[in-house]
Amino acid sequence: MSNSYKYIDPDFTYTDPKTGLLRNLQDITDPDVLLFVESGVVTKRLQELYDNPLKIKGIESLFEIHRQLFQDIYIWAGKKRTVEISKDGKQFFPTSHFDNALRYINQLISEFKKIPKNNKRLLAEKLVEILDNVNYLHPFREGNGRTQREFLRLLALEKGLTLNLNPPDNKSVYERYMKGTIESDVTTLTELIFELIDTNDK
């Protein structure tokens, strides 16, 4: 969790006022332990999605993925955030307008599903459009990046394509992904995803 994130949460909906840590189902009060445990349970749940991929129906599937990944650690897994978030002075989408954003992203997903499987350039461009909007929406209090990367992987998978935006053996991919999402740089993201998506039938 970056220190440059700011949250408007005067009622401590998500954090313990004493420790400043996210309230969690395991009552962890040490930040290093929380990071370790969260990483472990999310990795395990991610593997389950690799073994049994979720079919993307629409934006509701993003919430299903978040629930799957974080169900062991946060009671609000899979639920829309109720606090406002900003990073480096840039505010993410206001919670008061979530419904409009969800409808728009559903439209983008529908457009993606109509693109022919062999049109990799157009698929990459639409995936980036979805990613850029989902990232701006930032619908969860924590775990947005991990959830949206898995969401894109599963969307690509439905077209018979592999897509790993955080490969363990290639740090530059993740760095380019982070730069592209933080700066809303769709050109960088499009080139990155176009390079990465590959057919499964090699």
pLDDT computed for residue 46 by the predictor: 97
Where does the pLDDT of residue 1 fall: very low under 50, low under 70, confident under 90, or very high at 90 and above?
very low
pLDDT computed for residue 201 by the predictor: 52
pLDDT computed for residue 2 by the predictor: 46
pLDDT over threshold 50, residue 55: yes
pLDDT over threshold 80, residue 189: yes
Exposure string of 130-150, with b = 16+ CB inside 10 Å and e = fewer, is bbbbbbebbbbbbbbbbbbbb
pLDDT over threshold 60, residue 27: yes
Q: What percent of the chain is modeled with pLDDT above 90?
A: 89
Q: Tell me which residue range forms the domain holding 40.
A: 5-199
Report d(CA 20, CA 38) in Å as an integer.
16
Q: Which residues contact 17 (CB under 8 A, 6 or more apart)?
A: none
Helices first, then strands: H and E counts in the chain: 7, 5
Q: What is the CATH number of the domain that holds 169?
A: 1.10.3290.10
| Digit-coded pLDDT (tens) for 82-111 | 999 998 888 999 999 999 999 999 999 999
Find the angle CA(140)-CA(145)-CA(148) to the nearest 5 degrees: 85
Number of domains in the chain: 1
pLDDT computed for residue 3 by the predictor: 53
Q: Are 170 and 182 in contact (CB under 8 A)?
A: no
